[in-house]
A and B are shown apart, each in its own frame.
Chain A
Amino acid sequence: MGVEGIGAKVLRKEDRRFITGRGRYVDDMSVPGMKYAAFVRSPYAHAKINGLDTSAAEGMPGVIGILNGQQLQGDGIGNLICGWAVSSKDGTPMKMGAWPALASQTVRHVGQAVAIVVAETQAQARDAAEAVMVDYEELPVVTKAVEALKDGAPQLHPEAPGNLIFDWELGDRAATDEAFSKAAHVTRLHIHNNRLVPNPMEPRAALGHYDPAEDHYTCWTTSQNPHVARLVMSAFYNVAPEHKLRIIAPDVGGGFGSKIYIYPEEIVCLWASKRTGVPVKWTSDRSEAFLTDAHGRDHETDVEMALDADNKILALRVETVANLGAYMSLFSSATPTYLYATLLSGQYDIPAIHANVKAVYTNTVPVDAYRGAGRPEATYVVERTMETAARELGISPAEFRRKNFIRSFPHQTPVIMAYDAGDFDATLNAGMEAADVAGFDARREEARSRGKLRGLGMSCYIEACGIAPSKAVGSLGAGVGLWESAEVRVNPVGTIEILTGSHSHGQGHETTFSQLVAERFGLPVDNVQVIHGDTDKVQFGMGTYGSRSGAVGMSAIHKALDKVEAKAKKIAAHLLEADEGDIVIENGEVKVAGTDKKLGWHEVCLGAYTGHNLPDGMEPGLKEGAFYDPTNFTFPAGCYICEVEVDPETGTTQIIQFVAADDFGRVINPMIVDGQVHGGLAQGIGQALLEGTHYDDAGQLLTASYMDYAMPRAWDLPMFKVSTHETLCPGNPLGMKGCGEAGAIGSPPAVINAITDAIGNNELTMPATPEKVWKALSAVE
């Protein structure tokens, strides 16, 4: 592997600038003449807009312009779209209500943008935004999806009667019913998957700049996928033509999915820049982030598992109601369907599965993909059910899982996915050994002697990453292909620039992508520059989400490197008068195998650019591009084991130990992978113990600040015991599966399984706050 090649724990190159405060984020960007924007936002969850009076605000100091939804519509700016078409089981297309970037007639959630104020300073813009008088007529409100489906519930969109967006199914209902009729035991569970607020460290921001001289638009924005933003903003929102629009996503401080979507603010800032003639910058504050960043999860699910007399799973039946909020966000339809129900087979051989998902409008912030996106919800359903069934049957949860593991690959599940590889026994064994499951009973007794309740919980998750084969997702309704592109630009001195359509917002791509070059040519990673996040620089790309940058993005780089290597070898063979097949490149040298004939890598590169002595007919230069379209999803899997201690006097839960044994396929940088797992676990444990999103009956978000929304802190987390176990993914050249989301996907059920084990009551919802644990304990006392 070399010191900096594949598998090396190379320190993150990008951290030098991050930890010295030199990262450059959208809010750090400045353009001559730039002014500041503030949005007028609805204080009501559901209201008709009867009028908008900007007269007082227009006269306030520093105000340059105030623009509203009617003007936006008048300029032909299109409504926000959902990029994945999902049809109901009766064949009807999903029922989507209109979402204008600035509301002009109706507001449907607290925080929805109604107007933009542009002023000389941010403070002036905010003061003037407060002075804009909107005449609202309040309408009845519904915030819970189950309530929204009931007769007589307040109606959000005329396009979606009964607030039902789609009623979708997957799997074989008849076969599932048949299996249930033969069941020796049925385990039933109602599951609530709590709504989460993503909370990346950097709030969203946008800087729109229209240049009349060139008739050109530039938008700096906090995006995980700048090319998608350009495509959507030009093709659907008509803000600017694609060839005259440059999107730059510079350093971005975390996204977790919430920065995939193209939000009203960046559209409006760019449009406002043209309307007002000044560059317009908006930076979200934390309160706005709570009220406008797409939320995650929010499912209510009834699950039933049928088992035979030998404790083999016969079938799984799942009914889910998914709250999509007030509008359909960009990938909101895919998250509770094709990213969720397709994973309901878990790591188990389940002959029949049927899932029914109803997606519902409510007067809440739109819900979309958030770290894991559908897969955490599926894993929570499957792994809570597995643990519950094992307890009901009085058998070891580990042995019950083992009994039902899939062991031969490829394995076609009844819910679309074809698992290509895996070794679930290996991760289960590794997890149980690291967690010292054998010694748990003694630890439980010791804790009991101190008046504490210990519990052990397990979760054997599988997820689908490497999103995704374009043909497959196209057939399932996706509006885009999900390939990735790369360009490898070798300079005449031998240094290398990688231009990638993946986007790094914390993942460490600048390091791991460079390691591919180090592996291939033996060059130091410092000789590699990774360029991303700018549509004027990078050819094209689909961005970063769904743990795809390794399996898809790096595969594209791998393909481009193949082409560079082939051409470099041709040039070297010509210069060294050797056979192309005898050329090897290692440690920065290009050698003829078995001889002492060699050239420096830089000599070959220079030769490519001088063109003085190239093979006949060869074009000068050394620069190659590639598009990589995956052939299948990848399937990271693993076993998480959580041990908790509950204090029965206060209901507080302390995580004593958390073990993660993951199979991510090939690992490029183990340190970065560990970091991804740690971060994912923190988010998953946050969901399980702390993070609850609550609306009151009027649709006000009660948990809209860090005083009310509990983010996990260092204290809430133990030192994690993580390990990886490689079964290579056969579907891509590097054998990678992806590691970005596993921690958040696998951990919540492990935590809840552990607490319910400790307290002897299976009725416990996330977040398992001390109050809920106390109540659950009281119920069994």
Chain B
Amino acid sequence: MNLFEYIRPTSVAEAIAAAGEPGSAYLGAGTNLLDLMKGGVTSPNRLIDLTHLPDLGKIEQLPDGSMRIGALVKNAALAHDTAFSKAYPAVAEALLSGASAQLRNAATVGGNLMQRTRCAYFADPASACNKREPGSGCDAIGGENRHHAILGWSESCIATHPSDFCVALTALDATIEIEGAGGRREVPITDFYLLPGDTPHEETVLEAGEIIVAIKLPANAAGFAGHQRYLKVRERTSYAFALVSAAAALEIENGTITEARLALGGVAMKPWRSAAAEAALAGLSPTREAFEKAAEAAFADARPSGENAYKIELGKRVVARALAMAAAGTPERMPALPASPFASDTGAIAHV
């Protein structure tokens, strides 16, 4: 039996204080944490339920034009917020490509940032996993690792980060607002996640007891609104994690790309921003050749961590196509099947 204490604080300060007890864990909607607890992957002795904290459920436009999303906003609510999805359509598309409708209705954006890898060895307490049990080894290396990392992995861990949402956030330079015992601070999402190195159990820069209170998207990200897409290739069209995904955003003036943004999902233990690909695109015309060049650049450092060399080739194709889709323009309406490769050509979908 998994015995734990359940606490429902009424303020952030109270929550942070409650987390002083070692072995505490914050609970959002529980769409990931409860599964891990049931599977014996993690067994916190104190659950601090954040879902009743006040003031963390708002989507606000700030005076400087940026948008601030409270950590308790539900995935579905954010994706369907008209002002938000107009300004950041690729983020909405990424959100709607993740999980199932039921889960999106329950899951919070703060929790999404904190979800754990879907590496099967991490989820199986009988397997060795340096992330779950530091120093125990990594059974994914040499195991079933078709889905594993091709960028930024180490000999300690080859897992990937599962979020779609964070990939689009990364492309658009989101920042994360964090509150802890020492007050509030903001961290760019590109610095939020840690690569595994020798310490794969350390996943983010969060200090003990710190809480994500909000996510901010900068005002200038809206400049990409007309040309941004999220493309996710997976083994089935819904309720599956990405083999490779890409968030692509372009600023195009007079037929020339002035600025490009590209982030990749499913390839590393963090959403992978590719500065090299972005640099390769600046000043070019939005052509297939340019996108293929960017795709090569994005995966220049990629190497297989096992039976997953195919992901490098697949990733290049995904990047080229995501960029082509972004160049073609953000669709007027959210595609019926968000982020799907099926919908890429015409925007219309055969069966819907």
User: Is the Cβ of A652 less than 8 Å from the Cβ of B342?
Assistant: yes
For the complex, would chain B's binding face be called helix, strand, loop or mixed by DSSP majority? Answer: loop
Contact with A along B140-161 (1 / 0, CB 8 A): 0000001000000000000000
A690 and B236 contact, Cβ closer than 8 Å, known pairs A650-B317, A719-B351: yes
A769 and B350 contact, Cβ closer than 8 Å, known pairs A647-B341, A649-B321, A650-B314: no
Q: Is B274 an interface residue (CB 8 A)?
A: no
Which of the candidate stretches A95-103, A110-118, A710-718 sits at the interface with the other chain? A710-718
User: Is the Cβ of B237 less than 8 Å from the Cβ of A713?
Assistant: yes
Q: Is B235 an interface residue (CB 8 A)?
A: yes
Docked Cα-Cα span, A706 to B100, in Å, equals 12
Q: Is A726 an interface residue (CB 8 A)?
A: no
User: Is the Cβ of B321 less than 8 Å from the Cβ of A654?
Assistant: no
Docked Cα-Cα span, A638 to B1, in Å, equals 55
Contact with A along B309-348 (1 / 0, CB 8 A): 0100010011001000000000000000100011001000
Docked complex: A541-579 residues within 8 A CB-CB of B: none
B345: chain A residues at CB < 8 Å are 450
Docked complex: A658-713 residues within 8 A CB-CB of B: 690, 706-707, 710, 713
B314: chain A residues at CB < 8 Å are 650, 774
Docked Cα-Cα span, A657 to B66, in Å, equals 46
A130: chain B residues at CB < 8 Å are 1
Q: Is A656 an interface residue (CB 8 A)?
A: yes
Docked Cα-Cα span, A715 to B342, in Å, equals 10
**Could you tell me how many residues of chain A have their Cβ less than 8 Å away from some Cβ of chain B?**
24
* B6 CB, min distance to chain A CBs, angstroms: 16
Closest-by-CB residue of A relative to B317 is A649
User: Is the Cβ of A715 less than 8 Å from the Cβ of B337?
Assistant: yes
Closest-by-CB residue of A relative to B123 is A707
* B21 CB, min distance to chain A CBs, angstroms: 25
Contact with A along B107-136 (1 / 0, CB 8 A): 000000000000000000000000000000
A710 and B351 contact, Cβ closer than 8 Å, known pairs A650-B314, A650-B317, A715-B337: no
Docked Cα-Cα span, A771 to B311, in Å, equals 10
**In the complex, which of the residues B236, B239, B318, B350 contacts A654, with contact meaning CB atoms closer than 8 Å?**
B350
For the complex, would chain A's binding face be called helix, strand, loop or mixed by DSSP majority? Answer: loop
User: Is the Cβ of B350 less than 8 Å from the Cβ of A713?
Assistant: no
**In the complex, which of the residues B146, B233, B240, B350 contacts A650, with contact meaning CB atoms closer than 8 Å?**
B233
B237: chain A residues at CB < 8 Å are 713, 715-716
Instruction: Identify which of A649, A656, A707 gathers the most chain B CB atoms within 10 Å of its CB.
Output: A649
B337: chain A residues at CB < 8 Å are 715
Docked Cα-Cα span, A718 to B352, in Å, equals 9
User: Is the Cβ of B238 less than 8 Å from the Cβ of A715?
Assistant: yes
Docked complex: B232-253 residues within 8 A CB-CB of A: 233, 235-240
**In the complex, which of the residues A127, A650, A714 contacts B341, with contact meaning CB atoms closer than 8 Å?**
A650
Q: Is A733 an interface residue (CB 8 A)?
A: no
Instruction: Identify which of B1, B236, B314, B321 gathers the most chain A CB atoms within 10 Å of its CB.
Output: B236
User: Is the Cβ of B235 less than 8 Å from the Cβ of A769?
Assistant: yes
B310: chain A residues at CB < 8 Å are 771, 774
User: Is the Cβ of A656 less than 8 Å from the Cβ of B236?
Assistant: no
User: Is the Cβ of B351 less than 8 Å from the Cβ of A770?
Assistant: no
User: Is the Cβ of B351 less than 8 Å from the Cβ of A718?
Assistant: yes
**In the complex, which of the residues A649, A710, A714 contacts B236, with contact meaning CB atoms closer than 8 Å?**
A710
A654: chain B residues at CB < 8 Å are 342, 350
A716 and B350 contact, Cβ closer than 8 Å, known pairs A450-B345, A647-B341, A650-B314: no
Docked Cα-Cα span, A385 to B351, in Å, equals 30
User: Is the Cβ of A717 less than 8 Å from the Cβ of B351?
Assistant: yes
* A123 CB, min distance to chain B CBs, angstroms: 10
Closest-by-CB residue of A relative to B345 is A450
B235: chain A residues at CB < 8 Å are 710, 769-771
* A212 CB, min distance to chain B CBs, angstroms: 34
Contact with B along A757-781 (1 / 0, CB 8 A): 0000000000001110010000000
* B38 CB, min distance to chain A CBs, angstroms: 11
* B340 CB, min distance to chain A CBs, angstroms: 8
User: Is the Cβ of A715 less than 8 Å from the Cβ of B351?
Assistant: yes
A719: chain B residues at CB < 8 Å are 351
A714: chain B residues at CB < 8 Å are 351
User: Is the Cβ of B317 less than 8 Å from the Cβ of A718?
Assistant: no
B239: chain A residues at CB < 8 Å are 706-707, 713
Docked complex: A618-650 residues within 8 A CB-CB of B: 647, 649-650
A713: chain B residues at CB < 8 Å are 236-239
A652: chain B residues at CB < 8 Å are 233, 341-342
B321: chain A residues at CB < 8 Å are 649
Docked complex: A729-781 residues within 8 A CB-CB of B: 769-771, 774
B233: chain A residues at CB < 8 Å are 650, 652, 770
Docked complex: A422-457 residues within 8 A CB-CB of B: 450
A718 and B350 contact, Cβ closer than 8 Å, known pairs A450-B345, A654-B342: yes
B318: chain A residues at CB < 8 Å are 650
Docked Cα-Cα span, A718 to B337, in Å, equals 14
A707: chain B residues at CB < 8 Å are 239
Closest-by-CB residue of B relative to A714 is B351
* B240 CB, min distance to chain A CBs, angstroms: 8
A706: chain B residues at CB < 8 Å are 239
Docked Cα-Cα span, A719 to B352, in Å, equals 9
* A564 CB, min distance to chain B CBs, angstroms: 47
A450: chain B residues at CB < 8 Å are 345
A774: chain B residues at CB < 8 Å are 310, 314
Closest-by-CB residue of B relative to A452 is B345
B351: chain A residues at CB < 8 Å are 714-715, 717-719
B1: chain A residues at CB < 8 Å are 127, 130
Docked Cα-Cα span, A713 to B240, in Å, equals 12
Docked Cα-Cα span, A316 to B234, in Å, equals 40
The 4 tightest CB contacts between A and B, nearest first, are A649-B317, A715-B237, A710-B236, A650-B341
**9 A-B Cβ contacts within 8 A?**
A652-B341, A656-B350, A690-B236, A710-B235, A713-B237, A714-B351, A715-B351, A770-B235, A774-B310
A residues lining the B interface (CB < 8 Å): 127, 130, 450, 647, 649-650, 652, 654, 656, 690, 706-707, 710, 713-719, 769-771, 774
B residues lining the A interface (CB < 8 Å): 1, 146, 233, 235-240, 310, 314, 317-318, 321, 337, 341-342, 345, 350-352
Given A650-B318, A706-B239, A707-B239, 16 further pairs, Cβ under 8 A = A450-B345, A649-B321, A649-B341, A650-B233, A652-B341, A652-B342, A654-B342, A710-B240, A713-B236, A713-B238, A713-B239, A715-B238, A715-B337, A770-B233, A774-B310, A774-B314
